[in-house]
Structure 1
């Protein structure tokens, strides 16, 4: 009985080795992604699981500069601003954390939590500087995998991204990193999306999905963007720009400016669209 058991065990082991030899595993990330797609098609994994796994794989090649909010679009607080002005910006943006600068916007001196600002109501004589928390600075080239580990180990949710010259390039949050894995994270401040991926924001501009059809955008905004070579807005903007634009970058096409609000998986998820400013005398 023991001999038969061992023989059966050896046969199974040999069979597994033969299968592995005839059907080797993926040798590259592209093949691994294809394997995941095949697993989804055969209903081995759910579609959401495949997307998350692909996000983890792609994130290994991404750096902070790929997903950061560019410096011109950062919502900052001036350390010398009056309390009412600070409170108004906190309420308007709905963020929970704010970089604070002194003098020039590039001079970040700390991070202020929105909840800490309320302490000034109970103690008006309190100095805002005493409420600041240390700012974390990371290079633009920092790998997202490493950054996520740092966020988790340091219990920090926001970092200031600096370029090779030490200047402020932007900021990145733990939510920005996680969205590369799980997709866009909606919160209570996010608008409800329309079926066509286009809707009007409070300031009169439009929020347009990167995969929105050009024909639909033309009809909704009353423009005539070319749709003979590309089907989606994201494809058209990437072509005109020469590459997929990063978060915070703006591309002007056909009298409209397309500012990237969110990227995911190497593509633009959302644009903020507004008419381009006309030059004086035009």
Structure 2
């Protein structure tokens, strides 16, 4: 008995129409998933904040939809699987009726090609090319679908989380928020590598982001380089030293440099000098009665473990720019100013009174080596030459060499680590003063 011939009737036309409609739905689900996951929430937030923008309201809806990304993706995957399976079933039934048992293989091949091209690759390509534009347009529909599929998605989510716990995995709901900073840093670095962000702009942006991770100890001026004044010196000598110093504020000590008793500001000192001269009818002998401690400010001490972000806030709160840094035992370690913190963001700030030391700027010789001051910070060296030497274990270049060598090297010794060649060019006592460095 022969099988009846295939007849193209209304039922066949409706089946083909249903398959086409389901493929369109598949394209919508696939494109929506890609667009909503690839869209930058920062760009959507910026667009939503522009009230004059006609798409601001839709951008706000897209943000609301992506707030719970797990539920959103679950709803879209559920809808996508339903329409794909249903379209494959209808195609199998249609082609089986037309070609018999061979229709199953034919339906598999045809639907795989159609779903791959029109249901996956094409919509996802469009969505990944214009993620924000597609996201704000599909968000209203997706919002309704998420609400409709919510009970079933919640059940699936509970089942999935239970299975994850069985294998020792616990979903981290705060992971996206904690990764926000790393995402920004990565975007800035990627923009620089692709030429969209200039090196100076990258350094400023990353410097601002690093303030909460860096401590006062890393950027302070070491106590060996602090210019101090003995409070027991004659007033004329103190006045002369203050005026000849390039610094506006100078710590004052008595008997021992560790015993800081005040901080003198050049402007306060000059005001007191002007008052004495005015009261004494301009007689210079009146300067012998100058009481420096009368105009000196109380010293402000901070622990060396304070973060730069916190210290900057304290400077602004106290309306001061100068602090002395101490360790856990209260011993003086150095000093830090608001300018030091700002320089971590925008780079070195110099004025007409600053002493610019050319030897601090790395110079390259004919062999490709850079002559670097041992006291130069690793961060400054990385900024100057666009290197990536680690600064987790040491603040200065000399400190990095000593840490890696596990010794105080002698002049002429050579080391290779972190992809660089280090040669000790000069050493004074137990300090490495000059280094020759070149990338390997």
- TM-score bracket for the superposition, by shorter chain length: 0.5 to 0.7
1:166 corresponds in structure 2 to: 330
Distance 2:190 2:323 in 1: 37
**More strand, by proportion:** 1
When normalised by structure 2's length, the TM-score is 0.43
Aligned counterpart in structure 1 of residue 236 of structure 2, from 84, 91, 99: 84
When normalised by structure 1's length, the TM-score is 0.64
5 Å matches for 1:1-282? 16-20=35-39, 27=179, 29=181, 31-41=183-193, 45-122=197-274, 123=276, 124=287, 125-191=289-355, 199=358, 207-209=359-361, 211-213=362-364, 237=398, 240-242=401-403, 253-257=424-428
SS at 2:214's partner residue? Answer: coil
Distance 1:219 1:173, change over 3 A: closer
Distance 1:259 1:156 in 2: 36
Distance 1:144 1:54 in 2: 14
Distance 1:104 1:26, change over 3 A: closer
Distance 1:63 1:192, change over 3 A: closer
Distance 1:258 1:173 in 2: 29
Shift of 1:25: 9.4
Distance 1:94 1:48, change over 3 A: same
Shift of 1:69: 1.2
Higher mean alpha-carbon deviation, 112-121 vs 171-180, is at: 112-121
SS at 1:146's partner residue? Answer: helix
SS at 2:333's partner residue? Answer: strand
Unaligned runs of 5+ in 1: 1-10, 194-198, 200-206, 221-231, 244-250, 261-270, 274-282
SS at 1:118's partner residue? Answer: helix
Structure possessing the higher relative contact order (Cα contacts under 8 Å, 6 or more residues apart):
1
Determine if contact 1:138/1:161 at 8 Å carries over to the other structure. yes
Larger radius of gyration: 2
Determine if contact 1:79/1:128 at 8 Å carries over to the other structure. yes
Deviation string 1:8-46 (CA, Å, 9 cap, x unpaired) is xxx999775232478989937555323102234556554
Distance 1:159 1:238 in 2: 24
Distance 1:144 1:97, change over 3 A: same
Shift of 1:56: 1.3
Unaligned runs of 5+ in 2: 1-28, 40-68, 70-127, 132-175, 277-286, 372-384, 390-396, 405-409, 412-423, 435-440
Distance 2:363 2:305 in 1: 31
2:9 corresponds in structure 1 to: none
Report how many residues are paired: 223
Q: CA RMSD in A?
A: 4.0
Distance 2:430 2:317 in 1: 33
Distance 1:214 1:45 in 2: 29
Distance 1:217 1:30, change over 3 A: same
Distance 1:105 1:74 in 2: 10
**More helix, by proportion:** 2
Shift of 1:54: 0.4
